[in-house]
Structure 1
Amino acid sequence: MTVLQNVMWFLDVRTVLLCVAVLLVLRWFLGRPKNLPPGPWGFPLIGSVLAIGREIRRGVEPHDLFMRYAAKYGPVFRLKIFNKTVVVLNDYSSVKEAFQHPQLQDRPKMLLTKVLKSDGVSIASGQPWLELRRFSLTVLRSFGVGKTSFEEKIGTEAEELMKEMSAFSGKPFDPKPLLGNAVSNVICNVVFGKRYEYTDEQFNKLLSLLGRNFKLLGAGAAVNFFPALRYLPFVSIDEIIANFEEIRMFITTIIDNHRANFDADDVKDFTDSFLMEIKRNEAKDASGVKHGLLSEGNLVGTVTALFAAGSETTATTLQWTLLYMAVYPEIQQRVQAEIDAVVGRNRLPRMADKPELNFTRAVIWEVQRLSLIVPLGVAHAAAADTQFRGFLIPKDTLLVPNLWAVTHDPKVWPEPDQFKPERFLNDKGEAVQAEELIPFSVGRRSCIGEHLAKMELFIFFSFFLHQFTFKKPDNSPPLSLKGRGGLNYSPFNFEICVISRE
């Protein structure tokens, strides 16, 4: 081949590549639907990935970055993450309106579905999700979840936890493992029909893996929803999959044990109830009757969802309550004084005391507001092209609720970064929860364990403050109220001293 031929070949290849690049850019700009929400410019093919990644490396949390975008583009704005359109909702009214819209209730496709080899109540969409949610809520209520009658089980676990705390005799310790085990035992009691000792190494490892994955999945569980992120060098996808595989095996073993010992006349827990429903559906199917949508295919996913959601988020909220009490001892004293006045020193608090414990409830709400555990909630997906607030939301668009922005909106919460429990008290000193406080999200896909979590928070927190005073260890650095991101927003590891009250 002559030199001229080499040059011509090179020019031909370069021309082809240039044409391909131009076509991709034109497709990027001209192929976008009209009337989308406004948003920042992104590169072809990768969208805003580089811009967001750069800010995260600088230490900016995604929820704070999205608040910055919202100030520029409005409370409803659009991003492109690789080939996916993402609409971020940044105020209460837009989140509430979107998450009550019947066409904006689906879930995006998830990595979790493949890893668990199952979908479930938190993953499914359409009619399967409706049936799973209806069934799950009915069964949980049948076992007393959310009812006053369930407080005895939570109280028993809280007393076990306080024995473990007392054993440190005022010496510093990390409360995270104990809180995680105690809270998880409450949901395990309902779902698996058993609790685990605080010394159970296998169970403690499982909780550690779960907590680790909540961090690795990233804000809003981004890795779960965007397949291309899994190939970035700083994403620990192999570790995430290995951790979930170990969790799946643990739960599958429990389900297999339930199946082997199943007794239709003695249904003990949620897993038994699900197996009973599967058997009923199989019987209907055998007789030619159209059966329900509950099956082996969504058993593992549903049980895992209840276990994970019922363990990690409430335990993390309780970590924050202890931290805030240690940082604000005067607030802690006010809570203790109120509990003493209402309850006395001769018994522990009860749910019946809740209406009179106004400041105690206000403190719990203010901690939830300031340390919003899941800042970007869990994404929804558009089931079809949908008109929303004058914008087009194309089918399969991800809708991300910036719940952090909702609970830190200065138009709703004056001095939003200040710890002020009084903001939840009216002129009569009565506790009034603002509708904009939505730590469990809103709409038909709001957290299925909301009622259980609220009861747990009240009972654990009121028990703690009735029995203990929480203090920063002597000669230790100041406790930090800054958290670290992930799927959940949690405190940096800290140690605390628990002093028994007389």
Structure 2
Amino acid sequence: MDFLDIRTFLLGVLLLLVFRWLLGRPKNLPPGPWGFPLLGSIPAIVWGMFRGSEPHHQLHRYAAKYGPIFRFKFLNKTVVVLNDYALVKEAFQHPQLSDRPKNIFTEFLGLEGVGASNGEAWAEMRRFCLTVLRSFGVGKSSFEEQIGTEAEELIKEMAALGGKPFNPKPFLGNAVANVICCVIFGKRYKYTDEEFKYLLDLLSRNAKLAGGGGAVMVNPSLRHLPFIPFAELLANFNEITCFIGNIVDAHRKTFNADDLKDFTDVYLMEIQQNLARDKDRMLPDGKHPKASKYGHLSERNIVGTIMGLFAAGSETTATTIQWALLYMMVYPDIQKRVQAEIDDVVGRNRMPRMADIPELNFTRAVIWEVQRLANIVPLGVPHAAASDIYLRGYLILKDTFVLPNMWTIFQDPKHWPEPELFKPERFLNEGGEAVKADELIPFSTGRRSCIGEHLAKMEIFLFFAFFMHQFTFKTPEDSPPLTLKGKGGLTHSPQPFELCAVPRG
């Protein structure tokens, strides 16, 4: 066969493959951009990042071109992106769109847990987590004392700095994490605890390394790309896992079935019940095991579940409060209005309480506007299709990733006139009452909405209100200009900044 015959043969094979791909392509797939062979849309996203754009900005541009639902290829994965609130709400209430993709935890760390599980096991673990957290007061008004105590500890730390500049991120991270630690581990950590500070740094670093929508965590194939720091991400998670595993082991040594002090103790109790039931034997205390409502709880998923609750209960809430303080410095007139309202409703002789919420309308509006513009998780947490399913006439194939494009939803001018502006008044009605828009879903929506939503809402309100009551936050002298341009990753966080917390009289 001469060169011409070889070239003709190869061209024929190529055309045959193209025709086969075209004829075998399923009908009614969502529209979307053309992608490179093997890489899909990765080159376009990476090129945008080199120019200072984040992945959610690229998907925002795709949404403007292709509409409320589109798809793109990401290496070997198909990703469907939902860019409309009503569409996200409809999709995430559907049982077949409530799975999580296979991820770094299950594939490389051997971890299971409520965040990474699907089907009956996930439903049971989620029900268990919600029930136990509520039994320890989370989400109830009585829990505000615990949050308030931690907020006051942080206020003491800030006041001790005497108005000198400091980076609020480590303080906020420690304080917020302490709230969930008290419930899960039965203890809080001092702000000087170096091991705990290191753990929080690992969590924050991994939120950055995970990429928009947690792309690196849910698509381990990315580890083959030279610019993806997969090894560092994995090493960090291994250290976090060891830290939590050591705490669980310590709980085993002091475990007392008649004195369950925290979430970890309750989990260990369920594991004992399940082991005794499976082996048809009595418990260590000589009692017969009760029939458990949570048969899926085991040694395989205790560390994964606790790590998920700990991470979700610290990073995003602390980042939201960090953004709130930054916005107050950028908009000092708004800060004064919040302080005036709190002074009028609460007075200067006590701290704000949850019971004050109905009268703190502007304060709530400011928090909501911060959540909208800061957009802490701009691409949400990915779902996966459990089976082929039609959504608004489009076919979503089994195992397709489904992303809620929160960035586009929170910037939609149909719902948010002048969406780029910081306007807390958009959440106030004609009577000055705070009214939250349905389209504001910072904790997602549907069957897999954030487990810690009620806790996070209480923390954000109480920490922010306490801070506004006690301090005026100012930009340090000779500080570089403040920027509201955030850093990308799984969470959208502010650029590093310092502030001065000036005590109020």
Whether these two folds match at TM > 0.5 is yes
Of 474, 478, 486, 2:477 maps to 474
Whether the 8 Å contact between 1:24 and 1:44 is mirrored in structure 2 is no
Q: Measured at CA, do residues 318 and 20 of structure 1 come closer, stay the same or move farther in structure 2, by a change above 3 Å? A: farther
Whether the 8 Å contact between 2:98 and 2:386 is mirrored in structure 1 is yes
Of 174, 177, 187, 2:167 maps to 174
- Counterparts of 2:12 and 2:140 in 1: how far apart (Å)? 66
Q: Measured at CA, do residues 229 and 347 of structure 1 come closer, stay the same or move farther in structure 2, by a change above 3 Å? A: same
- Counterparts of 1:472 and 1:275 in 2: how far apart (Å)? 48
Partner residue of 2:286?
none
Of 274, 277, 283, 1:281 maps to 274
Question: Relative to structure 2, which stretch is displaced further, 248-257 or 12-21?
Answer: 12-21
Whether the 8 Å contact between 2:63 and 2:408 is mirrored in structure 1 is no
- Counterparts of 2:202 and 2:7 in 1: how far apart (Å)? 49
Partner residue of 1:3?
none
Partner residue of 1:336?
339
Partner residue of 2:179?
186
Answering whether residue 381 of structure 2 is matched by residue 388 of structure 1, we say no
Provide Cα deviations, 1:26-60, integer angstroms capped at 9, x if missing partner.
Answer: 55444332110111112332222222222222222
Aligned counterparts, 1:194-209, within 5 A: 194-209=187-202
- Counterparts of 1:53 and 1:152 in 2: how far apart (Å)? 46
Query: Which amino acid letter does the alignment assign opposite residue 254 of structure 1?
Result: I
How far residue 20 of structure 1 moved from its aligned partner, in angstroms, is 6.2
Gaps of 5+ in 1: 1-6
Query: Which amino acid letter does the alignment assign opposite residue 387 of structure 2?
Result: A
Provide Cα deviations, 1:394-424, integer angstroms capped at 9, x if missing partner.
Answer: 1111100001111111000000010000111
Answering whether residue 45 of structure 2 is matched by residue 52 of structure 1, we say yes
Query: Which amino acid letter does the alignment assign opposite residue 318 of structure 2?
Result: A
- Counterparts of 2:302 and 2:4 in 1: how far apart (Å)? 59
Of 81, 85, 91, 1:88 maps to 81
Whether the 8 Å contact between 1:115 and 1:245 is mirrored in structure 2 is no
- Counterparts of 2:220 and 2:16 in 1: how far apart (Å)? 24
Gaps of 5+ in 2: 282-290
SS in 1 for 2:313: helix
Figure out how many residues of one structure are paired with residues of the other and give that number: 495
Q: Measured at CA, do residues 46 and 475 of structure 1 come closer, stay the same or move farther in structure 2, by a change above 3 Å? A: closer
- Counterparts of 2:464 and 2:176 in 1: how far apart (Å)? 12
Partner residue of 2:60?
67
How far residue 272 of structure 1 moved from its aligned partner, in angstroms, is 0.8
Query: Which amino acid letter does the alignment assign opposite residue 203 of structure 1?
Result: F
Whether the 8 Å contact between 1:377 and 1:400 is mirrored in structure 2 is yes
Partner residue of 2:219?
226
- Counterparts of 1:343 and 1:148 in 2: how far apart (Å)? 17
Whether the 8 Å contact between 2:338 and 2:468 is mirrored in structure 1 is yes
Whether the 8 Å contact between 2:92 and 2:446 is mirrored in structure 1 is yes
How far residue 81 of structure 1 moved from its aligned partner, in angstroms, is 1.4
Partner residue of 1:113?
106
Partner residue of 1:433?
436
- Counterparts of 1:293 and 1:350 in 2: how far apart (Å)? 39
Whether the 8 Å contact between 2:70 and 2:82 is mirrored in structure 1 is yes
Q: Measured at CA, do residues 498 and 281 of structure 1 come closer, stay the same or move farther in structure 2, by a change above 3 Å? A: same
Q: Measured at CA, do residues 226 and 417 of structure 1 come closer, stay the same or move farther in structure 2, by a change above 3 Å? A: same
Partner residue of 1:127?
120
- Counterparts of 1:456 and 1:482 in 2: how far apart (Å)? 24
- Counterparts of 2:179 and 2:279 in 1: how far apart (Å)? 37
SS in 1 for 2:155: helix
- Counterparts of 1:49 and 1:24 in 2: how far apart (Å)? 23
Q: Measured at CA, do residues 255 and 352 of structure 1 come closer, stay the same or move farther in structure 2, by a change above 3 Å? A: same
Query: Which amino acid letter does the alignment assign opposite residue 262 of structure 2?
Result: D
How far residue 22 of structure 1 moved from its aligned partner, in angstroms, is 5.0
Partner residue of 2:155?
162
SS in 2 for 1:469: strand
Partner residue of 1:463?
466
How far residue 447 of structure 1 moved from its aligned partner, in angstroms, is 0.5
Provide Cα deviations, 1:118-150, integer angstroms capped at 9, x if missing partner.
Answer: 111111011110001000000000000010000
Q: Measured at CA, do residues 23 and 176 of structure 1 come closer, stay the same or move farther in structure 2, by a change above 3 Å? A: farther
Answering whether residue 368 of structure 2 is matched by residue 365 of structure 1, we say yes
Query: Which amino acid letter does the alignment assign opposite residue 188 of structure 2?
Result: R
